[in-house]
Every structure is written in structure tokens, then in C-alpha cells.
């Protein structure tokens, strides 16, 4: 099939590359002419596994890039809208870019039936509004349909999430729309893609996604509710971790005990300095705003957000207790991205911790396998030095912090770290390291939700150093 994807952000670019990989001809459109030129020239704008390979494989053949919407719409029956829906100050989603695309495409939808599909995360009623805008701008009834096909990909594993999803949700208010989208996704639904030679490897070979055909409004709610539920799991386990810490229980034992109940599930129960990224914070605010607009106060979501905001503060407080004061301290930081596998620093809890340390007079030397150039562009160069590896981050530092759950931080050579650090203090904001290994290497180890015989409350740096 030939499809058009409007908006070459994270979701749009990944979706377009994967649809090309499924055998479709994909026309990619973006209003940013520079971005289009860079994509055409072979640039890969985001750090995402398999994306460079897919772009290289399909660019210029099944994947073409255009700046002009009119040109981009020619010949495509299915048009995905994947433009940004950032948060307004009120928390509501700013859907003006979606509206602008609908207005701009209206005069160009003059030949044959078109299915417009929202891929952007947008609040309930977005499909209804697009329909209305198209009608008001002269598109004849019966010549188009609007559907919602939410995307559940995670950054860092976006390509495999797209190609091997748990489910495919088709929010369609007509049988015709559902049939067209079923056909588009057929290679995933029948498993043919996973079996084909040269496919991206499936994380669960042989498994095919569940298909859910719903109304457009249900699909819109499914997307918001899914992200809200996942964020709620994280805040829940973080709150439990805080209790564990207070009573001397171990959150790692507790989360295994809780997560092995199949009704609860073990995923998204990893405690830490909180969730970040371009989705959860924005989507929770938007879902809360939508609920309010429609007469329901979803206060549970307010609590989820409050617990999340508190995680960074608690972590910084814990470190402050260990270091007494941050003034003139040199802090080594491992991880700046909002999570592993990505160079994205949007709403990154790691960046929030770094900023809090700088505000209190510390200087930082940071290492991240992917996010350093993005972080360097927004952090003050006189206070933050980006370094080449984890050991350089530890060099002469008063403490070493683990702020992003990159796998490579799990296997640090602790002895090497110890030799570099001025004070042997590791504060692990992701519970990534093995407490007994870290302690037997001679460190004071601060983590989350674990019995902590190195309880630092009231201890000075000197006392901690003596103890270590």
C-alpha cells in the first residue's frame, strides 16, 4: 500500500520506517524543510536501535521525504498524522499542530477516498474535531474517514515495539476504515513479517499481536489510560520504596513478591528517581485536564505526579545528608538521558538532579553513553564537564551518582571507581548496582527503598569516610 506520514518526530519517523519495512511505500512529510533535507541526506536524527539500518535500507525506495504536503498526499489512501502535541501551561495537550495539518490537507483531499489516522497522542474527541475541521473546510462527506491508531512504542526499543507489539488498537468508526488498517498491518497480525528472512529479530518469536478494533474515542482513551497506568505503577512502587526505607524492609524483595502475582505483573515496578521523558509527564497532565473538562476530577493522577516529583527531591536530600553541603563539591554523574537506550533528555529526572546540585553550588562531571551532546547544549559549560567514560566521571569526585539505568553501569569495575573517587560514596538513583558488591568494595552505598546500614542521616562527610 502507499501511505503518507505527516510529522517526522520520534513517532512519525519510527512508524514510517517500520511501515516501509512491512513492504509499504511511505511518503514522509514534515514542515521543517531543513529536517527533510537532512533525512534525505542520510542523517539519523535520533538514537534508536535498528533505525539507522531501516532508514538505510528503505530511503529513496520505499521511503521518500517531502516538504510539501500537497505532494506528500498524492496517491496515498492512508494518511497518518504524527505531529507533536506538547503540553500547554494548563496541562492540556496543545493540539494546534494537528488542527493545522487538518486545515492544510483539506483542499488537497480531492481525489478518491482517504483515511486520516491519528498516531500522535491526542486527547479524546481529537478524531471528532478533525472530521469537523475537514467538513468545515469543504471536504465532502463520504470521501474521507478519520481513525485513531495509538502507538505504544518506547524510546530505546521503538522499532521492535512497533514491529512486535502486544496489541494493535484500531479506533475506527466505520468498517471500511477498520478493513484498510487491518490490511496495512496484515504482515504483523498474521506473523508473516516475523517469519520473513532479513526481518528485525522478534523479542518473542512466533507471538502475534492481539487486534482490538474499537471506536475512535475508546482508542484515544486507551492511549492516555495506558500511559497513566504505567506511570501509576512507577509512583506506586516508589511510594512503597519510601516506606521500605523507613521501616528497614528491602524494596527489591518486596517488588519481586508483589510483581510475581500475575494480576499485578513484574514490569514497571523498578523504583528510582522517577519517570521522565516526553510522554508520561505530558500525557498524565493531559489526561487529568481532559477528565476535568468532562466533569471528573481524576485526583489519583495528581498524586501519581506528586510522588514522582518527590523522588528527585528525596534523592538529593539523601545525598546532601551524606555530603553535608554541595557547595564546592565535585559530583560524578553517570547517566543524563531520561532512561537507557536513548539520547533523549526531555523531562529527564537525571537532568533534574544535576540542576538541583548545580543550584546548590556543586560542579558536575558527567558521562552518558548517548545523551551528552544534547545535555551539554542546555547545561552551563562552566559547571558541567562531559567526560569520556564512567571512570573519568568518578575522577576526584566527592561522590558518584547513578541516574540513568544504562546496562553498562551495572558492570563497573568498582575498584577502579574507588581509586578515582575522593570520597567512596555511591548514590544509586536506579538501584542498578548490587549492594553487597558495592559495600564489600568499600563504598558507602545509598540506594532506594533498601535497608541501609549506612544510614547517613546526621553523619558528616568525614564520619562517612571514616566508616568507609
Q: Percentages helix, strand, coil for the chain, rounded to the nearest 5?
A: 45, 15, 40
In angstroms, give the least distance from the CB of 236 to ligand UGA: 10
Which range touches ligand UGA (CB under 6 A), out of 109-117, 125-133, 151-159, 244-252? 151-159
Which range touches ligand UGA (CB under 6 A), out of 67-75, 95-103, 149-157, 440-448? 149-157
Q: By C-beta, is 256 or 416 nearer to ligand UGA?
A: 256
CA distance 363 to 431: 24
Identify the residue among 234, 285, 375, 401 touching ligand UGA (CB under 6 A): 234
Task: Based on the shown chain and the rule CB under 6 A, indicate whether residue 447 belongs to the binding site for ligand UGA.
Answer: no
DSSP 201: P
Q: By C-beta, is 76 or 121 nearer to ligand UGA?
A: 121
In angstroms, give the least distance from the CB of 283 to ligand UGA: 6
Candidates 84, 74, 98, 81; CA nearest to 25 is 74
Candidates 369, 442, 360, 363; CA nearest to 405 is 369
Please state, in angstroms and as integers, the Cα–Cα distance from residue 74 to each residue in 1, 78, 117, 119, following that order: 13, 11, 16, 20
Q: By C-beta, is 134 or 254 nearer to ligand UGA?
A: 254
Task: Based on the shown chain and the rule CB under 6 A, indicate whether residue 151 belongs to the binding site for ligand UGA.
Answer: yes
CA distance 100 to 95: 9
- In degrees and rounded to multiples of 5, residue 238 shows phi and psi of -65, -40
Which range touches ligand UGA (CB under 6 A), out of 184-192, 268-276, 328-336, 408-416? 268-276
Judge whether 279 counts as a catalytic residue. Answer: yes
CA distance 83 to 16: 13
Task: Based on the shown chain and the rule CB under 6 A, indicate whether residue 406 belongs to the binding site for ligand UGA.
Answer: no
Decide the pairing of beta strands 144-148 and 167-172. antiparallel
How many residues in the shown chain lie near ligand UGA by CB under 6 A? 22
Instruction: Count CB neighbours of 210 within 10 A.
Output: 11
Complete edge-to-edge strand list for the sheet that includes strand 330-334: 384-386, 363-367, 330-334, 399-402, 425-428, 444-446
Which range touches ligand UGA (CB under 6 A), out of 40-48, 80-88, 242-250, 269-277? 269-277
Sites for ligand UGA among residues 12-31 (CB under 6 A): none
Catalytic residue, candidates 127, 148, 172, 279? 279
Spell out, one character per residue from 210 to 229, where the chain touches ligand UGA: x when CB under 6 A holds, - when not. -----------------x--
Identify the residue among 152, 218, 422, 451 touching ligand UGA (CB under 6 A): 152
Sites for ligand UGA among residues 75-134 (CB under 6 A): 121
Are the C-beta atoms of residues 144 and 115 closer than 8 Å to each other? yes
Identify the residue among 91, 171, 194, 272 touching ligand UGA (CB under 6 A): 272
Task: Based on the shown chain and the rule CB under 6 A, indicate whether residue 275 belongs to the binding site for ligand UGA.
Answer: yes
Candidates 432, 411, 452; CA nearest to 322 is 452
Would you tell me which residues interact with ligand UGA (CB under 6 A)?
Answer: 121, 151-155, 227, 230, 234, 268-270, 272, 275-277, 279-280, 283, 338-339, 405
Indicate which residues carry an active-site annotation: 279
Amino acid at each position: 500500500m502507499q501511505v503518507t506520514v505527516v510529522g517526522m518526530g520520534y513517532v512519525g519517523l519510527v512508524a514510517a520506517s517500520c511501515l516501509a519495512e512491512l513492504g509499504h511505500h511511505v511518503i514522509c512529510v514534515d514542515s521543517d524543510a531543513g529536517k527533510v533535507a537532512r533525512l534525505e541526506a542520510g542523517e539519523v536524527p535520533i538514537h534508536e536501535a535498528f533505525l539507522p539500518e531501516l532508514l538505510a535500507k528503505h530511503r529513496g525506495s520505499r521511503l521518500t521525504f517531502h516538504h510539501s504536503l500537497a505532494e506528500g498526499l498524492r496517491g496515498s489512501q492512508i494518511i497518518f498524522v504524527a505531529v507533536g502535541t506538547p503540553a500547554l501551561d494548563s496541562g492540556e495537550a496543545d493540539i494546534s499542530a494537528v488542527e493545522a495539518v487538518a486545515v492544510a490537507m483539506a483542499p488537497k483531499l480531492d481525489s478518491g477516498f482517504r483515511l486520516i489516522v491519528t498516531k500522535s497522542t491526542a486527547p479524546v474527541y481529537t478524531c471528532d474535531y478533525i472530521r469537523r475541521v475537514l467538513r468545515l473546510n469543504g471536504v465532502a462527506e463520504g470521501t474521507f474517514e478519520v481513525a485513531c491508531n495509538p502507538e505504544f512504542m518506547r524510546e530505546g526499543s521503538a522499532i521492535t515495539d512497533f514491529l512486535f507489539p502486544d496489541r494493535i488498537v484500531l479506533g475506527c468508526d466505520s468498517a471500511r476504515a477498520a478493513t484498510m488498517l487491518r490490511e496495512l498491518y496484515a504482515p504483523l497480525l498474521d506473523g508473516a513479517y516475523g517469519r520473513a528472512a532479513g526481518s528485525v529479530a522478534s523479542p518473542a518469536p512466533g507471538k502475534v499481536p492481539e487486534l482490538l478494533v474499537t471506536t475512535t474515542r475508546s482508542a484515544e482513551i486507551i492511549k492516555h489510560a495506558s500511559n497513566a497506568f504505567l506511570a501509576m505503577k512507577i509512583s506506586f512502587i516508589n511510594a512503597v520504596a519510601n516506606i521500605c526505607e523507613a521501616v528497614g524492609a528491602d524494596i527489591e524483595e518486596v517488588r519481586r513478591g508483589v510483581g510475581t502475582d500475575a494480576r499485578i505483573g513484574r514490569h514497571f515496578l523498578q523504583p528510582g528517581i522517577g519517570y521522565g521523558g516526553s510522554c508520561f509527564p505530558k500525557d498524565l497532565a493531559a489526561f487529568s485536564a481532559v477528565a476535568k473538562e468532562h466533569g471528573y476530577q481524576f485526583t489519583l493522577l495528581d498524586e501519581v505526579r506528586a510522588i514522582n516529583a518527590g523522588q528527585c527531591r528525596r534523592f538529593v536530600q539523601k545525598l546532601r545528608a551524606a555530603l553535608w553541603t554541595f557547595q564546592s563539591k565535585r559530583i560524578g554523574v553517570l547517566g543524563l538521558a531520561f532512561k537507557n537506550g536513548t539520547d533523549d533528555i526531555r523531562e529527564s529526572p537525571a537532568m533534574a538532579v544535576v540542576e538541583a546540585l548545580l543550584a546548590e553550588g556543586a560542579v558536575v562531571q558527567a558521562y552518558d553513553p548517548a545523551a551528552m551532546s544534547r545535555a551539554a547544549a542546555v547545561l552551563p559549560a562552566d559547571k558541567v564537564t562531559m567526560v569520556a567514560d564512567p571512570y573519568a566521571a568518578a575522577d576526584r569526585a566527592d561522590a558518584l551518582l547513578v541516574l540513568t539505568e544504562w546496562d553498562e553501569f551495572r558492570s563497573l569495575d568498582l575498584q577502579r571507581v574507588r581509586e578515582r573517587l575522593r570520597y567512596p560514596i555511591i548514590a544509586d538513583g536506579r538501584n542498578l548496582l548490587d549492594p553487597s558488591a558495592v559495600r564489600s568494595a568499600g563504598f558507602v552505598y545509598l540506594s532506594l527503598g533498601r535497608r541501609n546500614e549506612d544510614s547517613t542521616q546526621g553523619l558528616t562527610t568525614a564520619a562517612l569516610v571514616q566508616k568507609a
